[in-house]
Amino acid sequence: MRQGHGRPAIYRNHPTGMNGSRKVHIKSFGCQMNVYDSHRMADTLAPAGFAETAAPEDADLVILNTCHIREKAAEKVYSELGRIRVLKQAAARQGRRVVVAVAGCVAQAEGEEIIRRAPAVDLVVGPQSYHRLPDLLVRVGRGEAVIDTEFPLEDKFELLAPPSRAATRARGVSAFVTVQEGCDKFCTFCVVPYTRGAELSRPVANIVAEVERLADAGVREVTLIGQNVNAYHGEGPHGRPWPLGRLLHRVAEVPGIARLRYTTSHPRDMEPSLIAAHRELPSLMPYLHLPVQSGSDRVLAAMNRRHTRADYLDTIARMRAARHDMAFSSDFIVGFPGESEEDFGATLALVEEVGYAGAFSFKYSPRPGTPAAEMAAQVPDGVKSERLYRLQAAIDKHQAAFNARCVGRTLDVLFEKPGRHPGQLVGRSPYLQPVQVMAAPSMIGEIAAVTITEISANSLFGALAPVPAHGQAAALASEASGQRGNSKVRAHSASEDARERADDTRPEPGSSAHAALASEASGQRGNSKVRAPDTRPEPGSSAHAALAEVEG
Ligand code: SAM
Ligand code: SF4
C-alpha cells in the first residue's frame, strides 16, 4: 500500500465551470517524471474529448505541471499563473471559460495556498491523483474549486489511460517509462520524499506491457525513470521482487527496442546485478547519470546521502570495469549549509578525478520543511554563486574534452527528428549528445553509424559512415565506438551518403546560426549535457554561450 509523506486533501467551493469545448494545454516544468506525467494526463483526458494544443490561448483547460525542487522552480509557476490569468480574463470577455489546473510537486506541497495566492486557479491536483482528473474536472464544472493532494490507495499507473498509437508516434522515437516513484532516502536538502511520497515500484508485467505498446507504435529507445530508479523492486511474474538489472534484461527482450537507459540513480543503490547489466546488455547505453552532490565526506554526511566519496569512486571504477566505454554525468549542489572552501575543493577534485561528460550543478536552495533549511551556517548567496561559477568551469572543461575526443570516432546515432536545415536530421549518440547529420527523413527511428567530423559547444556534427565491404558497418561502428554489436544498427550506402552530403547547408562553426542550431538540438530534453537555468554563468562569458535552456 502506498504511504504518503504529504498533506491531506482539502476541498472547498468556488464558482467556476467549463463550457464543454475540449482543448487542453499542458506545460511541464522540471524533471522527466513530469514530462511522463504530462503525457499520461493528456492520454487520460483524451477519452473525455480533450485534444492537446500547444497554444495556451486556444485552450479550455490549462494544466501547469510544476516542480518544487528549488525555490526558483516553484516561483516560475506563479509568474506563469500571472500570464494564464490574463488569458483567462480575455477568454471570459469573449464568453469563454478557461479552467486552470496546477499539478505536480508545487500542487502537492502548497495545496490550497496556491488558490489563495492565485485565485484564477480552479483545480490543484497532486502527482498521485492524475487518474482522477476527469472526475475532478466534472466537480470543477459544477462550480467547486477542487484540491486533491491525497495519496490514494489505488495504483494510479494502472488507472491512467494508455497513449493512443497516434499520440505515441507524435511524441517521437524515444520514450520515458516511469517504473518507480517516490523516495525513502530523505536527503536533508530535498523535498521529493514529501511531494512524491514513499517509494513505489510498478510490477514488471505492467512495465513490459507498456514498453511493448510503445515499441509497437515505433519507439526505439526507452528510458526507465524514477526519482530513485535503481531502488526499483517491483513484483516479478512469480510474485517476488525484481531489481532494476533484471527488469532491464526483460525490457531488452521487447522486439523493436534498440536502446535502453535509466535515470535517476542513487549511488548507494548501484548493486552488482545492475552493474553487470551494463556488461551483459548491448542495448543498455554506456552513459549513466549518477548524482554525487558533493565531493566532501563531511557534507555528504550532513546531506544524509548514505555514501562516502570513496564509495562513489569505487562504484565508478566497478562500472568502468564492467564496460570500458562508460561515461558519467552528475548533479552537484554548491553552498550546502556549512560547506567550507575545503569541502568545495573536495568537490572540484572529484570532478577532476571522474572527468564527467556533463553535469548539472545548482546553488543550494533552502526548501521549507526540510532539515537543511533549518541548519545553522547557511552559506551567503555571493559565495554560492562564486563556487558555482568555478564548478561549472571545471565541468565545462571536461565536457569539452569528452566531446573533442569524439571527433574522428564512429558512433551509433538514433535519429529523432528533422534538423533545422533542409536535408538534416538530429539524433542522439550513446552519450545523449545531439548529433546533426545530413540524412534522409526516412531514417528517423533508425540507428546508423555516424563518423563525427566536428563539434560545437552543444552538438556533434557527422556524416553517415559508408557501408564497408561485406556489409559489416554495424560491427565496425560498434567497435569504433567501443560498443558491442547492435543488430539494430542500420548501415548506410555510400551513394545515399554522397547524395545527402551534397545538400549540406549547415552553417559554419562559430556563426550565430551554428550556435542557434546547436542550442536547439541540445534543448530537446532536460537530460545530461545542459544545465538548469540557475546554474548558468554570467551572460557574455564563453561558458554562457555554450549553454542551452532545458527547464520549462
Ligand atoms: N534522486 C536523485 C539523487 O538522489 O541523486 C536526485 C533527484 S532531484 C529531483 C534532482 C537534483 O536536484 C538533485 O540531484 C540535486 O542536485 C538537486 N536538488 C535537490 N534539492 C535541491 C535543493 N534544495 N537545492 C538545490 N538543488 C537541489
Ligand atoms: Fe531527493 Fe534523490 Fe535524496 Fe531522494 S535520493 S531525497 S529524490 S535527492
Among the ranges given (50-54, 90-94, 186-190, 511-515), the one the predictor scored with the smallest mean pLDDT: 511-515
Look at ligand 1, atom 20, and give the residue with the nearest C-alpha.
190
3-state secondary structure of 404: helix
Q: Rounding to the nearest 10 degrees, give the CA dihedral for residues 335, 340, 343, 344.
A: 50
Residue 445 and residue 489 in contact, taking contact as beta carbons nearer than 8 Å: no
Decide if pLDDT at 255 tops 80.
yes
Write the secondary structure of 11-50 as one string of H (helix), E (strand) and C (coil).
CEECCCCCCCCCEEEEEECCCHHHHHHHHHHHHHHHHHCC
CB neighbour list of residue 240: distance below 8 Å, 6 or more residues apart: none
- Kindly state the percentage of the chain with pLDDT values over 90: 74
d(CA 514, CA 297): 42
Residues in Cβ contact with 63 at an 8 Å cutoff, skipping those fewer than 6 apart: 24, 25, 26, 27, 38, 41, 101, 102, 103
Q: Assess whether pLDDT exceeds 80 at residue 528.
A: no
525 vs 512: CA distance, rounded Å: 22
By C-alpha distance, which of 174, 160, 153, 66 is closest to 417? 174
- Whether the CB-CB separation of 430 and 483 falls below 8 Å is answered with yes
Q: Which residue has the cell 466534472?
A: 138
Q: Residue 497, by phi and psi: left (phi above 0), alpha (psi -120 to 50) or beta?
A: alpha
Residue 473 to residue 329: CA distance in whole angstroms? 29
Please give the angle made by the CA atoms of 121, 125 and 127, to the nearest 5 degrees: 145
* Contact present, 207 and 244 (Cβ < 8 Å): no
Q: Is 195 in the pocket of ligand 1 (CB under 6 A)?
A: no
pLDDT at position 152 is 77
Mean pLDDT highest for which of 154-163, 351-360, 514-523? 351-360
Q: Count of CB atoms within 10 A of residue 549's CB?
A: 14
Ligand minimally distant from the alpha carbon of residue 74:
1
The predicted-structure confidence for 220-243, as pLDDT tens digits, reads as follows 999 999 999 999 999 999 999 999
Per-residue confidence at 21, pLDDT binned at 50, 70, 90? low
% of the chain with per-residue pLDDT over 70: 81
SS (H, E, C) 445-494: CCEEEEEEEEECCCCEEEEECECCHHHCHHHHHHHHCCCCCCCCEECECH
Cα dihedral 63, 52, 171, 431 in deg (nearest 10): -30
| pLDDT value for 69 | 92
Residue 91 pLDDT: 95
Q: Which helix (H) or strand (E) holds 195?
A: helix 192-195
User: Which of 187, 190, 264 gets mutated to test ligand 1 (max ligand atoms within 8 A of its CB)?
Assistant: 190
Tell me which ligand sits closest to the C-alpha of residue 33: 1
Higher pLDDT, 469 or 153: 153
Identify the pLDDT of residue 10. 22
Question: Is the CB–ligand 2 distance for residue 526 below 6 Å?
Answer: no
Decide whether any atom of ligand 1 lies within 6 Å of the 87 Cβ.
no
Identify which of 105, 186, 228 to mutate to test ligand 2's pocket (most ligand atoms within 8 A of the CB).
228
Contact 307, 265 (CB under 8 A): no
Residue 300: pLDDT band with limits 50, 70, 90:
very high
**Sequence-distant (≥ 6) Cβ neighbours of residue 306 within 8 angstroms:** 185, 268
Expressed in angstroms and rounded, the spacing between residue 468 Cα and the centre of ligand 1 is 46
Mean model confidence pLDDT for the chain: 83
pLDDT in tens, 106-117: 999 999 999 999
Name which of 258, 190, 166, 146 is nearest 31 in CA terms: 190
pLDDT in tens, 200-210: 999 999 999 99
* 369 Cβ contact list (under 8 Å, min separation 6): 109, 191, 194
Report the pLDDT averaged over residues 247-273: 97
Beta bridge partners of 435: 427, 460
Do residues 293 and 300 lie in contact, with contact meaning Cβ atoms separated by under 8 Å? yes
**What is the distance between the terminal CA atoms of the chain, rounded to a whole angstrom?**
33
Residue 467 pLDDT class (50, 70, 90 cuts): low
Which residue has the CA at smallest separation from atom 22 of ligand 1? Answer: 365
